[in-house]
Structure 1
Amino acid sequence: MQRILIVDDDRAIAGLMSDALEDEGFETTVCGDGRAALALLEQTANIALILLDVMMPRMDGLEFCRRIRDVVTCPIIFVTAKNRTLDTMLGLEMGGDDYIFKPFVVDELVARVKAHLRREKRTMLSDTNDSLVFCGIELKKDSLEAYKNGEVIALSPREFRLLYFFIKNAGKVLTREQIFNAVWGVDYGDIGTVAVNIKNLRDKIDPDNEYIKTVWGVGYKLVKPAGAVQ
């Protein structure tokens, strides 16, 4: 049984989400703030997906996401008020995979959870290559470890998958839609998260803009930097 972690200080909303998901056969755990959720994750890694409120006492959702994203691989869906667009964008920058606005339709929430979990399962089964190497960058899929010129790069799981997709398609121009469908591949979500994650990825592996090129009006392309050796 897949376990969903719900982090929300509003007991009524958390209870509503929990009841709806348990009716669909999921197991749920509810925490009232980020600190409690952080303590829980230190004790167990058996979490399939996290539903995360933004505004909470003690530790808000953005800070919680920032602290866990480099070590937690499961999808994170932010649950946020409609008038907090900035929080939504910050959540995506912190490594969130999707967001849903309050007040939400329960059926849509459940559908998004199922869609993300289906995508995670397909991703794990879709590629049997253990590692990829491209111009000084090495990715190890089983451990989600990334290296550049032998030095460890701290990538979030989503950034890792994004770079993995780029390397698998090196030299090809990829549209935002192609990237979104391959790396996120869900029926719900904001395609704008592609640009956010590419910016974060560039900051970590490509500060001189040598690898990931923007093809204006089309998308992006991974290229071999001048003087680089495969």
Structure 2
Amino acid sequence: MVYKFILRKVNLLIIILLMCLSNNYAFSKIIYDKNNIIISNIELTQYRDLYYQANKKKLKEDNAIKRLVLLKKTINRLEINEPEVIKNLDKIILDEFGKDVFKNKMRLDFTRYFKIRNEFIIDYYKNKLNVNDFKKIVSSFSNFNIPISNNNCLTIIKVINIKEDENFVENLYESFLSKQKNIEITIDKKKYNVCINDNDYKVIENQLIKYIELNTLDEFNKFIYED
């Protein structure tokens, strides 16, 4: 009797789970289906939510689909061609994030892709980044208006555009490497403090990441697509 009761309970749970899955599929709509890559509207919503959580930036639908296609291509190819890479990556993810991340396929693949892509960015930052890179990054801004001071930024003398100041760029480069924000420049043989706040640093940092992403794209694609 007890066995039959348990069996009925198990069967009931299976039926409930199947109904839940059926409901999910019923509400799911395929919005992309090319080259063995299928994306549903539910997956897209999950991806956009995860991207926002990671980057504090909302993606437009077209951009999100492009990024999600690349993510799926990357993970699919690695699972087929480099299963050992995925295995080692999952061990790192398990140690860092715990078991919960493995309960959701989209969250797991997002984390996998994020970790893989970041390895290329971190490697470039640690081993290849140089002052010429920073010159290009600073020159990419239409202007670079920064306050200067002669008393450790307690009061601002004026705001100047120091985009072309090589001394500033070199000091900014050293500042990022050392994680120190004390930057000085010399104007007419006088030293001034460059007053960069946290928001300014974040803007520069975001531009730096974009620059490194672009410069590591070929290497990343080679890693992903080589047979």
Structure 1 length-normalised TM = 0.26
Is the strand fraction higher in 1 or 2? 1
Q: Which entry has the higher C-alpha Rg, 1 or 2?
A: 2
Structure 2 length-normalised TM = 0.27
Is the helix fraction higher in 1 or 2? 2
